[in-house]
Amino acid sequence: MFAAVFCLTLLGGALGLLLAVAAQRLKVNDDPLAAEIEALLPGSQCGQCGYPGCGAGAIAIAAGEAPVTLCPPGGRALAQRLASTLGIELDLSQVADGAPMVAVAREDICTGCTRCRKICPTDAILGAPRQLHAIIRDACTGCGRCVEVCPTESLALHPVAVTLETWYWPRPQLPI
């Protein structure tokens, strides 16, 4: 009996020590996670997620307060990367992924007020006062802030057009 008590005590002590060491050595801070998430986010600080900027959004995601699907400009691809970073399952069919959007200006009613140019978080709008504005499609994230400030409703978001180079067969629709 003494031998059994001794063995179990020893075993318990050894395993407890192992756990203590593991807790120290494998400690994970919350901060690197938020930083890692922020690195994945677009960084345009557009505020569409409802948080003041990408940093705040990242902290909310890391704390589990916001879903990984919160970033409209990032779309489905970002949601997936966030899900894999956090190691959570993501049902992609639930992600409302409107096709990626870009802002398009209607030249006939643009007054050249430059409000959009100043608010654009990625400097995607070119143009001088009282001149037509042009939008650099590759730099536009489709955040829509320019649409909000445009006084003449000249700006609107349009889905990015599919081209021969970007087209691909859709996922097969099978009941099985």
Partner 1 sequence: MRIVHVRGGVRLNGRKRRAERGRITSLPIPAYLNVPLKQHIGAPAEPVVRVGEHVLKGQLLGRPPGPMSAPVHAPTSGRVIAIGAAPAPHPSGLDTPTITVQSDGEEQWIELAPPIDPLALDAAAIEERIADAGVVGLGGAAFPAAVKLRLRTRHPIHTLIVNGAECEPYLTCDDRLMQERAEEIIDGVRIMLRALEQDRSGPSIRALIAIENNKGDALAALKKAASAHPGIATIAVPTRYPMGSEKHLIRAVTGKEVPARALAPEIGVLVHNVGTAFAIHRALRFGKPLISRIVTLSGGAVASPQNFEVLIGTPVSALLRAAGGLRQPPARLLMGGPMMGAMLPHAEVPIVKGTSGILALTSAEIAARPAAPCIRCGTCVAVCPCGLVPVEMVSQIRGGRLEGALRFGLLDCVGCGTCAYSCPSRIPLLQYLNFAKGELTARERTKHKAEEARRLAERRRLRLAQQAEARAATATARPRQQHRHPEGSEATGAPDRTTNPQVAA
Partner 2 sequence: MKSKGARLILQPAPLLRSGLTTPAAMRDVVYALVPLVIGASWWFGLSALLVLLAATAGAVITEWIFSLGAARGQSLQDLSATLTGMLLGLTLPPGLPLWMAFVGGAASIGLGKLIWGGLGQNPFNPALVGRAFLLGAFPTAMTTWQAPSGPAGFLGIIPSNLALPLQQPTVDALSSATPLGLMKFQNQETPLPDLMLGHTAGCLGETSGLLILLGGVYLALRRSIDWRITVAVLFSASVFSGLLHLFDADNPQPIVALFSGGLLFGAIFMATDPVTSPVTPRGAWIFGIGIGVLAILIRTFGGYPEGIMYAILLMNATTPLIERVTQPRPFGRGRPTL
Distance in Å, CB of 176 to partner 2, minimum: 5
With CB under 8 A as the contact rule, the residue among 92, 109, 148, 152 that binds partner 1 is 92
Is residue 175 a contact residue for partner 2 (CB under 8 A)? yes
For residue 104, give Cα distances in angstroms to 11, 18, 77, 137, 141: 70, 61, 23, 9, 12
By the rule CB under 8 A, 63 interacts with partner 1: no
Per CB under 8 A, does 169 bind partner 2? Answer: yes
- Among 50-58, 66-74, 112-120, 168-176, the segment contacting partner 2 (CB under 8 A): 168-176
Q: In 10 A of CB 62, how many CB atoms?
A: 20
Q: Does 147 bind partner 1 (CB under 8 A)?
A: no
| Beta carbon nearer to partner 2, 64 or 175 | 175
In this structure, are residues 121 and 46 in contact, taking their beta carbons and an 8 Å threshold?
A: yes
Q: How far is residue 144's CA from residue 87's CA, in Å, rounded to a whole number?
A: 31
End-to-end CA gap in the chain? 61
- For residue 28, the partner it binds in partner 1, partner 2, none, with Cβ less than 5 to 8 A by kind, is none
Nearer to partner 2 among residue 129 and residue 172 (C-beta): 172
Taking Cα atoms as reference points, which of 171, 167, 127 lies closest to residue 146?
A: 127
| CA-to-CA dists, residue 36 to 59, 99, 163, angstroms | 10, 26, 33
Q: Which two tokens stand for residue 131?
A: 């001149």
- Collapse the DSSP code of 104 into the 3-class scheme (helix H, G, I; strand E, B; otherwise coil) and give the result: strand
The residue within the footprint of partner 2, chosen from 3, 23, 96, 176 (CB under 8 A), is 176
**Binding of residue 164 to partner 2 (CB under 8 A):** no
Structure tokens belonging to residue 138? 């590759």
Interface with partner 1 by CB under 8 A: which residues?
41-45, 73-75, 77-78, 80-81, 84, 90, 92, 100, 113-115, 117-118, 121-129, 138-139, 141, 162-164, 166-172, 174, 176
- What residues make contact with partner 2 under the rule CB under 8 A? 169, 175-176
